[in-house]
Structure 1
């Protein structure tokens, strides 16, 4: 699959969702929106399970030994979670979003202009600060497929309907942010795919799969897992593989 196709689909769903939001308003019943979210949560679990099976990749076990892959994934999540929580990544993302929104919406101008800016900022933050943005874009670039971005596209499409009903065309303008952020992360994944060995990629994919479980739990309203705080695990995983392989 062509790298970047996930972002193209994401942009299309945001545009379609925004147009539907402008036409339909808030006519979708709450129950319908909840059922759709539940379905997307279940599909996220399926994608997460598929990604997590990378821990069984033969290249992974050949590099670090048969018993080490599970421990490396566990260690990555533990160390990454500690680092992320100490840095306050989840809290920082929320605070930055609130600050940015206050800064832009607080500017002088007409009510319609402020509504446009607020819609642009709010939707940009929603579409570009979640774990699926990072995981999906990196995996798209790494050559693991765009399934995660397709799932995110569905989520963003429904969110765009609700946002556009309230904020108007500013939601559609957020595609500029989506292209910039996800395109950059996809290019980064493309670069890493040419550098990281198969064992390291398998470790990153397996850790990413477990992070997706956290996303699914949030979508299913089971538990608000601080997935953003766990994102450093994606950087820790290849480091641990290198370290363990040196002693293997």
Structure 2
């Protein structure tokens, strides 16, 4: 859990730094920086998604994962948790973008190859290098996000800790099935979800990335099935 703990602390420290020093940046500058981050998120997600060996796996994973995610309504659960935290950290009647900041930052930090691969490496091999690198990136981005979106970014450290911690602790149970192709398709599916996050940041259209999140894990059985049937893998 060391890598996840460091990652969590990095987000908190970066978030507080953004709150303390973010006021020095003009609103127009913050808006432009956020747009730049949105474009960068699209680039990162797109490059990850293009690494798929079989786009049918990604499509099937997102369709099935989306059905499951809508049934659970993960996005609503995240928003409700964010709203509950908002009621604890902000004054009643005070205008706040806490929930939006919390949900956006949580998805950015939880969705992606580094979160999954880093947690798996940490759990299977005790190698925390990927999560240490992710910690640096998340800490820096938390400064920018918190300065623009507020304290909700700091609260995103909670789902990051729970999500990555669960993958780390459960990695041993999946050790026998996490082959190279499986991990690759999980990363590609996660990459496409990162593209969705970029679209949300740029406010092009609201994509329910949270409800599509199960697709990353649905990619495991789908990839194994396609591999067994020799369907393009």
TM-score, length of structure 2 as denominator length = 0.72
CA contact (8 A) 1:199 1:241 kept: yes
Alignment CA distance shift 1:139-1:34 (3 Å): farther
Deviations 1:90-148 (A, max 9, x none): 1221123223443x469xxxx8xx9xxxx9x9799458732532434213224594576
Whole-Å Cα distance in 1 between the matches of residues 69 and 211 of structure 2? 4
Match of 1:156 in 2: 142
Q: Which runs of 5+ in 1 are unaligned?
A: 57-68
- With 84-93 and 11-20 compared, the bigger mean Cα shift is at 11-20
TM-superposed deviation, 1:246: 3.1
Alignment CA distance shift 1:175-1:72 (3 Å): closer
Match of 1:62 in 2: none
- Bigger CA radius of gyration: 1
Alignment CA distance shift 1:223-1:201 (3 Å): same
* Secondary structure in 1 matching 2:30: helix
Match of 2:219 in 1: 237
Matched residue count: 215
Q: Does 1:184 align with 2:165?
A: yes
Q: RMSD of aligned C-alpha atoms?
A: 3.8
Q: Does 1:205 align with 2:187?
A: yes
Structure 2 counterparts to residues 98-247 of structure 1, below 5 A: 98-102=83-87, 104=88, 125=102, 129-135=106-112, 136-142=114-120, 145=130, 151-161=137-147, 177=158, 180-181=161-162, 184-185=165-166, 187-188=168-169, 191=172, 194-195=175-176, 196-247=178-229
Deviations 1:186-236 (A, max 9, x none): 625854774311111111011011011001111222122110010010121
Whole-Å Cα distance in 1 between the matches of residues 59 and 36 of structure 2? 28
Match of 2:52 in 1: 55
CA contact (8 A) 1:217 1:225 kept: yes
TM-superposed deviation, 1:179: 7.2
Q: Which runs of 5+ in 2 are unaligned?
A: 122-128
Alignment CA distance shift 1:221-1:182 (3 Å): same
TM-superposed deviation, 1:8: 3.5
TM-superposed deviation, 1:76: 0.7
- With 202-211 and 46-55 compared, the bigger mean Cα shift is at 46-55
Whole-Å Cα distance in 2 between the matches of residues 176 and 213 of structure 1? 21
TM-score, length of structure 1 as denominator length = 0.68
